[in-house]
Each structure stands twice: as C-alpha cells, then as structure tokens.
Amino acid sequence: MFFMSEHMIVGIIGAPNKGKSTLFSAMTMASAEIADYPFTTIKPNHGIAYAARQCVERELHIKCKPRNSMCVDGTRLIPIDIVDVAGLVPGAHLGKGMGNQFLNDICGASVLIQVVDASGKSDANGNRAEGADAYDEVKMVKEELSLWLADIISRHMPKLSKEEDGAKALREVLSGFKVSEYDIKKAASAATLTLSKMKWSTAETQKFSSELLRISKPMIIAANKIDKATDEDIKRLAVSLKGCDVILCSGMVELALRKTSKEGKINYVPGERNFEVLEDISAEQAGAFEYIRRFLAKRSTGVNELINEAAFSREGNIVVYPVEDENKFTDHFGNTLPDAVVMKGGSTAMDLAAKIHSELAVNMIYAVDAKKKIRVAKDYVLKDNDVIKIVSAAK
C-alpha cells in the first residue's frame, strides 16, 4: 500500500511588517510571533490551511471516509502546507536582511502569496510610512527572487555550456526548486534562449530566471490590512497593482474571529460574512464585535478566498481521488474516497501515480476511470473530480 508523500506547499512572502505572520496565523490557526516591526519572523513558520471544494461523494451518492483530508456536509477540506518566511528587503540576494535563508525557505512552494500593506503605512523596508506604493514592494520582491535564481544558474554556467540537453541539466541544478523540464523549456522559449550548450549573458540569465519564476512559482498578491485602509487607499492600490492577481484581505479580522470562535464565544464559519455571539460579553468586546460587523458588511476577510485561489485558480489545479477498488471507491483498508489530491491542470494518470509513490509510477501498467469503469492509458489527462485506480506491477 502506497501513501501520498506530501501536500501542496504555499509560501507566504513579502517585505517586513506587512502582517505576514498575522495572515499565516489566521489561515492556519498555528502559533506565530506577531509584532509591528521588521523581522518578527526569523525562522519560517509552518502550518496547515484547508482549501474547500465540493466532494465527489455527492456526485456518486455515497458517503466518503477521508484519510488525508476532511469532509463537512459534502465539502472536502483539503490540507495545504503554508510556509511563512522572514521578510525580504532590497539586496536580499546579496545577503541583506535574512538574505538567502529567506530565499531557500520558499524553494518547495508551488505558489507564492506576496503580502503587501493595503493601507500604505509601511514601505518596502518595513518601516512606517504614509502613502507607500505597494507596487514598489511587488517589484522589489520579484527582482530579488529573480537575481537570486540567476546567481545560482550563473555559478553552474561553465558546466551547463557543455550540455546538449540543457533542460535536463538545469533541472538537476535546480533539483530543490521544484521545477520541471517542461517549465524550463517554456521559460527558455519565452525568453527566446536556446538550452543546448548554454552560454547566456548575465542579462539573458536574469531574463530566463524571471520567466521561470513566473511559470513555476505563480504569485498572488494579498493586499493585507484592508481593515486599516481608506477608500482612497483602495483606489490607489487598484491603480498601482493593475494587471496583478490581487485579493483584498484582513488577517487581523479573520484571526480575531477564528480565535474567538475557538474559545466558544461566537459561532463563526470561516469565509462567512456574519457571526453569532454565544455568551455574554464585555462592553469592550461588544465594541470590537461591532467594528468587525461593520467591516464584514462591506466585504469578507478574504482569507478563505486567498487559500482557494492559491490551491486551485492560479494553476488551473484540479482534485483527483485515487482508489484501489474501482467498484467500491475504497482503498486497501476499506476507506471510501480516502484521499483528495490536488494536481496541476493537464496532469496525467502517470503524474498521479508519481504523486502517490515513485515506485508506483515506474511500474505503472495502466489506470482505471472508476466512474466509467473503463481502462485508460498512462498518458490519460486527468479531469477535475476524477476517481482513478492505478494498476502497477509494484507491490
């Protein structure tokens, strides 16, 4: 019996003092040090958030018994690993701030969430300011990531210049970066560069690095601290970040709601725009709840939207349910629809096998579409909510 090796990883990045740790805590309810000054986070915080999708149990008219996730009233809650790393400052690729420690911490992420200050009250270095432009933060972070990646590639250029198959060689160089040969070829094409016996200039290497980051580490902008932003701040933000994938959010409001709900003082369903007070509260608490109600009357906290956007929308990701018994939709232990696996759009049955276990993929013979009860090839392109059995010679 093989088991899924890992969850999808989402990295929370950005300049210091943007509320990253507050947002991380709101998403995961994990403990993280929170303070209003730069470099609160020194070591990366790790936690689990849950992306929500309608479970295939409804379509199949059966009741699932999840193993790697949860299911509540037909909604599958799929765990996503969230990593919150130290704030990134200009010159980080040269070792400034937390430098390369920060950059290495995000290698395994499939998607990046850059947190910016929607209220404009902190600059790109994390210092207090008024009317700071969030675009400066976005530009700085992208440049630092690109320069860091370009430096890694440049150090290996003498070896890469001798390789006919540059895509394969680059993938080995970037083995910890979670990048595929397909991503590398696509980035090289976008940068109009050849991968055979590479002899790229510094500028060409940086151009390739920018394209590879765009393709392999798609970025969502979390415009945080929206509860502190004025209407003018929001208008300025819309102009500044036009063309970017932006979600307005308030980690502080969401964290307050989730904490109070966990304490049993209110009934709050994450993502909802209302809550119910369950016990007597003080005048101070009543004032805080009234502030939150006024906020929710305008918009949601945006945190759930951010999690689902990171999990699904950026990559056109889908959810697939691997099973061992295609008739009962169960695993080896009789669990019905045990695992909900997030896969990139365009993934094949072979990709699913590799996600479960490398040995399963190496020895794969074919797959079975459990819904239709038909055999499908290893290169069958998976669809959202597919239920798939992998047939392999591996034991």
- Report how far residue 151's alpha carbon sits from residue 178's, in angstroms, rounded to the nearest whole number: 17
- The band of 173, judged by pLDDT with boundaries at 50, 70 and 90, is very high
pLDDT at position 219, please? Answer: 92
Above 90 in pLDDT, residue 282?
Answer: no
Pairing of strands 9-13, 45-54: unpaired
First to last CA, the chain: 7
Rounded mean pLDDT, 224-243: 92
pLDDT at position 104, please? Answer: 67
- Report how far residue 236's alpha carbon sits from residue 239's, in angstroms, rounded to the nearest whole number: 5
pLDDT at position 1, please? Answer: 45
- The band of 303, judged by pLDDT with boundaries at 50, 70 and 90, is very high
pLDDT at position 314, please? Answer: 62
Above 60 in pLDDT, residue 3?
Answer: no
- Give pLDDT tens digits for 357-382: 888 889 999 999 999 999 999 999 99
Rounded mean pLDDT, 163-178: 91
Element (H, E) at 184: helix 181-190
Residues 6+ apart with CB under 8 A from 35: none
CB neighbours (10 Å) of residue 376? Answer: 18
Segment of 200-214, 231-245, 268-282, 301-315 carrying the highest mean pLDDT: 200-214
- Report how far residue 211's alpha carbon sits from residue 170's, in angstroms, rounded to the nearest whole number: 14
With 0-12 / 13-18 / 19 or more C-beta atoms within 10 angstroms meaning exposed / middle / buried, residue 6 is exposed
- Give pLDDT tens digits for 78-108: 999 999 876 666 665 665 544 455 566 777 8
pLDDT at position 141, please? Answer: 86
Residues 6+ apart with CB under 8 A from 56: 64, 76, 319, 321, 337, 385, 387
Residues in the chain: 395
Structure tokens at 216: 């392999």
- Give pLDDT tens digits for 104-140: 677 788 899 999 999 988 887 777 888 888 888 898 8
pLDDT at position 128, please? Answer: 85
CB neighbours (10 Å) of residue 55? Answer: 26
Secondary structure (DSSP) of 28-87: H-------SSTT---SPEEEEEEEEEE-THHHHTS----SSSEEETTEEEEEEEEEE-PP
Please tell me the class of the 316-392 domain: alpha beta
Start-end of CATH 3.10.20.30 domains in the chain: 316-392
Above 80 in pLDDT, residue 279?
Answer: yes
Rounded mean pLDDT, 249-258: 95
pLDDT at position 44, please? Answer: 59
pLDDT at position 287, please? Answer: 93
Q: What count of Cα atoms within 13 Å lies in the side-chain half-sphere of residue 163?
A: 17
pLDDT at position 86, please? Answer: 67
Above 60 in pLDDT, residue 220?
Answer: yes
Above 80 in pLDDT, residue 394?
Answer: no
Above 90 in pLDDT, residue 158?
Answer: yes
Query: Please, which residues bridge with residue 390 across strands?
Result: 367
Query: Please, which residues bridge with residue 246 across strands?
Result: 221
CA angle 63, 69, 75 (to 5 degrees): 55
Average pLDDT, the chain: 87
Structure tokens at 336: 């019905």
Structure tokens at 106: 């995000």
Q: What is the pTM of this model?
A: 0.83
Cβ(85)–Cβ(113) below 8 Å: no
Above 80 in pLDDT, residue 23?
Answer: yes
CA angle 270, 253, 7 (to 5 degrees): 50
What CATH number is given for 9-155+202-222 in this structure? 3.40.50
pLDDT at position 42, please? Answer: 41
- Give pLDDT tens digits for 40-78: 444 557 889 999 999 999 999 999 999 988 998 899 999
Residues 6+ apart with CB under 8 A from 200: 153, 157, 193, 208
Start-end of CATH 3.40.50 domains in the chain: 9-155+202-222
Rounded mean pLDDT, 190-205: 96
pLDDT at position 118, please? Answer: 93
Rounded mean pLDDT, 272-282: 89
Rounded mean pLDDT, 298-303: 95
Q: What percent of the chain has pLDDT over 90?
A: 60
